[in-house]
Structure 1
Amino acid sequence: MNQIKRSPIHSLGYDFIPQQFLPNGADEYYLRNVQNRSGIAYRQLNAMEIEILVRNRNQSDDWNKLLVSDEFNPELVKNCKFFGLVRIGKLEACYLEYHNLRMPVGIYNSTIISCDLGDNIVIDNVHYLSHYILGNEVILVNVNEMSTTNHAKFGNGIVKDGEDPGIRIWMELCNENGGRKVIPFSGMLPGDAWIWSKFRTDTDLQEKLVAITQNSFDTRRGYYGKVGDRSIIKNCLIIKDVWIGSDAYIKGANKLKNLTIHSSPEASSQVGEGCELVNGIISEGCRIFYGVKAVRFAMASHSQLKYGARLINSYLGNNSTISCCEVLNSLIFPSHEQHHNNSFLCASLLNGQSNMAAGATVGSNHNSRGADGELIAGRGFWPGLCVSVKHNSRFATFNIVAKGDYPAELDIPLPFSLISHQVHLNRIQVMPAYWFLYNLYALARNAWKYKERDKRIEKIQPLEFDYLAPDSVQEMVDALPLLELAVGKSFIHADLDPSGYPFQHAGELGRKLLESKDPRVDSLLITVEGWENSKRPVEIIKVSAAWQVFRRMIEFYAVQCVVQYGEIEKFGDWESVKGLLPSPARQWNWKNVGGQLIPAEALNELISKLKSDQIQTWTEAHALYENANQNYNHWKCTHSLQCLLEMRNVKASDLCQAFWDELLNEAVNTRQWLSDQVYLSRKKDYANPFRNMVYDSAEERDLILGSLETNSFLLQERQDCEAFINKVKLR
């Protein structure tokens, strides 16, 4: 039976805060008065104003509780009901216009309970407006219900005074079991979510993160909902316990409940038709429209949900877009794209710059003994058309997965690889260095695109967008011995003649074969074990070319880092460069912390500070990211040079100026080769007869697609290439 509580009409709009939660000597408006920073001086109505209001068919339980500013115009309030303490700012005889919506300033046909209303607001046909503070020039039109409870948390996973901790809102990230759940909060960064979800065995850290979250917000009851200046809300059904920033635009939403919607003049947020959003944090500059459903979620700044997307128990990183499809229990770092209704993503950690194609399915087949496990993918993960990937799986950086149903779990450690399921051969094939060999245009353009589209206003976490970075380069260094061992073992297994290559182990043999570019390697069936959870081997193809490209990229990266490092003016002087190398050599283990690359040693230091008594709020915690970034460029240089030494298997003392000069000259050649590969990989699309057959002429094609020679990215790429080459030549 529904429990309907009956109370006297004169109590409507009062006793918002239960008596037991009021401090001694405070009234129920004490927090409201703190929140209202409009600066408006209120007064009581005079007799003439009351007469006009009554004549305009307005009602109030107590006209003495309706306070107004000196510039209040009672003629602009018609057919309204007021309950409790209502305070109204300036009302002028004018209209407000936004996107062709023109509405006269004033309050019409509405029921208003205990609210503060700013200057020159528009409220028309709002059936129930309760316990809200509206800024100046706010427009509310055709809203069924807009209310705030005394225990509103506005999407933050905190517990208010007197509440059972069991009601706390959590986001169950990375798997479906809830074992990596985190508490959502306003201002949550991707790095926060990752640290919280990752270090589960550190009980001290876990307890401290809960405490920091609780300390970052006031647990007192009685805060009102707010709508910032110049925000527009129209044609909505239910808005409950929602805090809305300035300059937001909300139209046609079905249900918004327990949310913070950050918005500002520089980064306006929008919510559109048919959306139902519950228990979430929406950061500034977000766009959510056309039937989106989101529950227990957080969206970092300038991300988008649209066209019926479903986001549940998930964190969506900055500058990301999800359309149409469904995403569950996932932690997604910045610059993610997913645009198709038949794409599905579940129980995953995507390290950013990822793209889910149509028909791509990650997890949740529900035919195993338990809930889905986890998928972890490095930066640049691209599962292609109609890909089905099984949990648990792990992928290195910039892996692209070709169309196919992958029947077993995968663990692919080689970066920049094309992974394909060769059904007719009954094996998985991995082509390392695919992007450099065949599609460098897409790789380079995406790195440029992500940087150009980073719209964050407060860049608290510095994000790495370059495809050559500490994480990917370290994986290339680690890939070299893997490729050498695979070649050596396969060569021995094929019972080929190794004479001329004295060796002590298979890896040494493989290295010598690859160094000498032995043609037999190209015709060799090279397989590895342990990369797929099955009895069949995994084949690696194009090994010789990949090995050469990886070494070339490692050498180029070392020179690039030094050339770009502003503190080394004489980058052509080996003695100056050698000073970057620590003695003894440092052990590097780079971690992707929400898109920011941090060495494990520095991350451990950050976590130690996080657990200290010095950090009490998330604002203080976020300063640690900037501190961790102060040495990033120096670390990159040091790491790149150590990668060079490890790849060459030499010591710093063995190197000399002549060697460094050789590397600088080779870097010029490599930079030109990269630029040429970018152009040639794009040119293939223009030379492909199957792509051209839909156009009657090259002129028509260029009109539709844009000409190759006027491609803005290719032009920029050439300029960057020339600038690098000129800088090195002028050393």
Structure 2
Amino acid sequence: MSKKRNLRPEEIAMLQANACMADNWSSVFVPENFDIKYVSHTRFSGEVTLGAFNKEFILPGGLKKHAGLRHVTLHNCRLGDNCLIENVQNYIANYDIGENCIIQHVNVILVDGVSSFGNGTLVSVLNETGGREVPIYDWLPAPLAYVITLYRHRPQLISRISKLIESYSKEISSSRGSIGNNSRITNTGTIRNVRIGSYATIENCTRLENGSVNSREEEPVYVGDSVIAQDFILSAGVILSDAAKIVRCFVGQACHITHNFSAHDSLLFSNCAFENGEACAIFAGPFTVSMHKSSLLIAGMYSFLNAGSGSNQSNHMYKLGPIHQGIVERGSKTTSDSYILWPARVGAFSLVMGRHYHHCDTSDMPFSYLIEKDDETYLVPGVNLRSVGTIRDAQKWPKRDKRKAGLQLDPINYNLLSPYTISKMRKAVEVLKNLQALVGETSEIYYYQNTRIKGSSLRNGLALYGKAINKFLGNSLIKRLEGTAFSSIEEIWAQLQPTESRGKGEWIDLSGMIAPQEVIENLLRSIEAGEITSLEEISAIILDIQKHYYEMEWTWAYDMIESVYGVNLQTITAKELIALTEIWKESVVSLDELLYADAKKEFSLTSKIGFGVDGSATEKMKDFEGVRGDFENNPFVLAVKDHIVKKEALGNELIERLKVIL
């Protein structure tokens, strides 16, 4: 900002002639080259510093307006160069306004007292009555929020993290607000105690109170029609519009909250999309989606969720109040009019259909269906492994990540198969085999965690889990050996050796980030011991863990291959490696064939109902193909067929390299 000076007597006279007034003209400061003609009907109160007015704005529709002040009251404000501020009904108080900002037709913008701008706000996530409060701050990553929410059995850890957040909140607290460069605020009601970043657009908004709008040039924030937000933080790239209402919420990067959606006491992380419905005390990990008017998400933890219309949960049971919570693990879907009575836990990549009242826990049964029949919950283990929809979801999530490179708060792992899900599958196989041994292999119904499993479903689940385990372990092995021409078995042994000591044991999913539990435990112990003294250090360690995911994954897979197949990778022979490659090929191809068959259902006669309404069977077919295309040329079908060819070729190529050293 250029050097400022007091107004000259003749300038004061000209301003007064332009219907301007000041409590004390000596407290108004302007740049050396200052053009009086662009200031009219303005009142100055307290200390006010103005910038130059050299720019002409072209507004939507082509209207031109020059930077300046018209019909506005400024109290204790500092303006950057080339601001256009006009028609402020009440006043703007205690704000630093950046360059090239437009503020038009607003009621009031003020900071009253000292504010932390939403930082430090306690969000009563999962339990509406308290007990899992998360203090939010500008750069809150999902994994850290996960720990604060769920690790209440470690009070010293929670206390340490909370104090770091409290310290940050105090550090950024101020009696002055800020509006970043190139921001636009138009036709808006009240903005009170809100810090606004650069390139933000706020238009036709009703009320913003006690919050931060962390907009930036690469990821501008948009706040639109009739929005009400209170005690909030909006991360970069957020769109909040169309009468959405949020109270005590953290909204992560690139989230879209529109069309009358309302949320309170909720954490909504990267790339979530919410419309029409309602959220109450939820922890929405990355890519949680709810788009329908009748949907209610309440007291639940989700990530990569797709909630169907009318999805609902209940957490009170009419006893001690709304104290129950539920967890729906990553990648799950709830169908239209589905219902879950909390407490309950649903395994990763599961489909929930119908109404479920029996507090089931299927966390060790990923990729399953939960189907309601005659008020009972039937579990179909592993069946989602052959679902086209599951694979399409895994493909679309990375493509729908709207965050820009650079500052990404949430580390996100998109893998369907990982040490996390494969560990669950191994537990599932053990459970299902134990059920067979206890009840008998010919039983028609098995009982597990308040669910029922048909005998045919159990046997099918064992087969599907086995194929998925073989696929993942084979993928890891082949990836480790690809691109190298071996001349001796010793070279293979050397290449198979892990390069990362971390990764053994159990893995966990921290709302989008998959990591070894031991690695996370080391981080938490360091926080408890006071060895980590800043939030920046915690975030840096979390990002480093994400960076080394694949090295740690191989460390885990190395041990698992030895355990599952009974081999020693330090002395494995080429013949054994060829046998493992053949197992992998068979599993990959057979799973792809199941996907192919599932995709074909989308082109069945039933799917063609409603096409070619007034025509013959031939016209029905042509209408269907005009809209949906034909099966053999469908992009997904072509991708599956191509995947089969490539994986077979990849396996054969490795086998040929291994034959050299037989």
Give the TM-score, by structure 1 length.
0.82
- Contact (CA 8 Å) 1:428, 1:539: kept in 2 or not? no
Find 2:627's aligned residue among 688, 694, 704. Answer: 704
Quick one: which amino acid aligns to residue 447 of structure 1? A
1:530 has 2:449 as partner: yes
Find 1:324's aligned residue among 276, 280, 291. Answer: 276
Q: Render the CA deviation track for 1:584-604: whole Å, top value 9, x for unaligned.
A: x98621111231111111111
SS of equivalent to 2:254: coil
1:154 has 2:117 as partner: yes
Match of 2:310 in 1: 359
Match of 1:373 in 2: 324
Q: After superposition, where does 1:210-609 map in structure 2 within 5 Å?
A: 210-219=162-171, 222-350=174-302, 352-364=303-315, 367-402=318-353, 404-412=354-362, 413-423=364-374, 427-437=376-386, 439=387, 441-456=388-403, 457=405, 458-491=407-440, 521=442, 524-532=443-451, 539=454, 541-565=456-480, 569=484, 575-576=493-494, 579-580=497-498, 588-609=505-526
Quick one: which amino acid aligns to residue 599 of structure 2? R
d(CA) in 1 for partners of 2:61, 2:578: 61
- Contact (CA 8 Å) 1:116, 1:132: kept in 2 or not? yes
Pairwise CA distance, 1:416: 0.5
SS of equivalent to 1:349: strand
Q: Render the CA deviation track for 1:438-480: whole Å, top value 9, x for unaligned.
A: x2x2111111111122233324543211211111111111111
SS of equivalent to 2:137: coil
- Contact (CA 8 Å) 2:356, 2:376: kept in 1 or not? no
Describe the shift of the 1:587–1:466 C-alpha distance in structure 2 as closer, same or farther (beyond 3 A).
Answer: closer
1:661 has 2:578 as partner: yes
- Contiguous gaps of at least 5 residues in structure 1: 1-38, 158-168, 492-509, 511-520
SS of equivalent to 2:59: strand
Describe the shift of the 1:256–1:460 C-alpha distance in structure 2 as closer, same or farther (beyond 3 A).
Answer: closer
Pairwise CA distance, 1:531: 2.9
d(CA) in 2 for partners of 1:567, 1:662: 16
Quick one: which amino acid aligns to residue 194 of structure 1? Y
Pairwise CA distance, 1:66: 1.5
d(CA) in 2 for partners of 1:156, 1:360: 32
Q: Percent identity?
A: 21
d(CA) in 2 for partners of 1:705, 1:51: 73
Describe the shift of the 1:675–1:73 C-alpha distance in structure 2 as closer, same or farther (beyond 3 A).
Answer: farther
d(CA) in 1 for partners of 2:506, 2:453: 27
Find 1:69's aligned residue among 24, 27, 31. Answer: 31
Pairwise CA distance, 1:287: 0.6
Pairwise CA distance, 1:353: 1.0
d(CA) in 2 for partners of 1:711, 1:80: 64
- Contact (CA 8 Å) 1:292, 1:306: kept in 2 or not? yes
1:620 has 2:537 as partner: yes
d(CA) in 1 for partners of 2:25, 2:645: 75
Describe the shift of the 1:339–1:42 C-alpha distance in structure 2 as closer, same or farther (beyond 3 A).
Answer: same
d(CA) in 1 for partners of 2:173, 2:346: 46
d(CA) in 2 for partners of 1:710, 1:112: 64
d(CA) in 1 for partners of 2:172, 2:401: 37
Q: Render the CA deviation track for 1:61-113: whole Å, top value 9, x for unaligned.
A: 12222211234321111111111111111102623435767543211111111
d(CA) in 2 for partners of 1:636, 1:595: 16
d(CA) in 2 for partners of 1:200, 1:289: 35
- Contact (CA 8 Å) 1:338, 1:356: kept in 2 or not? yes
d(CA) in 2 for partners of 1:235, 1:624: 43
d(CA) in 2 for partners of 1:262, 1:298: 11
Match of 1:120 in 2: 82
d(CA) in 1 for partners of 2:166, 2:485: 51
- Contact (CA 8 Å) 2:358, 2:377: kept in 1 or not? no
Pairwise CA distance, 1:214: 2.2
Pairwise CA distance, 1:51: 2.4
d(CA) in 2 for partners of 1:559, 1:460: 32
Q: Render the CA deviation track for 1:671-693: whole Å, top value 9, x for unaligned.
A: 34444444432332122334343
Which range moved further: 213-222 or 58-67?
A: 213-222
Describe the shift of the 1:135–1:99 C-alpha distance in structure 2 as closer, same or farther (beyond 3 A).
Answer: farther
Match of 1:86 in 2: 48
Describe the shift of the 1:101–1:355 C-alpha distance in structure 2 as closer, same or farther (beyond 3 A).
Answer: farther
Pairwise CA distance, 1:622: 0.6
SS of equivalent to 2:86: strand
Describe the shift of the 1:139–1:723 C-alpha distance in structure 2 as closer, same or farther (beyond 3 A).
Answer: farther
Pairwise CA distance, 1:720: 5.4
Match of 2:136 in 1: 184
CA RMSD of aligned residues (A): 2.7
Which range moved further: 629-638 or 462-471?
A: 629-638
d(CA) in 2 for partners of 1:658, 1:310: 60
Match of 1:506 in 2: none
Describe the shift of the 1:191–1:197 C-alpha distance in structure 2 as closer, same or farther (beyond 3 A).
Answer: same
Describe the shift of the 1:479–1:154 C-alpha distance in structure 2 as closer, same or farther (beyond 3 A).
Answer: same
Pairwise CA distance, 1:295: 0.7
- Contact (CA 8 Å) 1:115, 1:131: kept in 2 or not? yes
Describe the shift of the 1:264–1:653 C-alpha distance in structure 2 as closer, same or farther (beyond 3 A).
Answer: closer
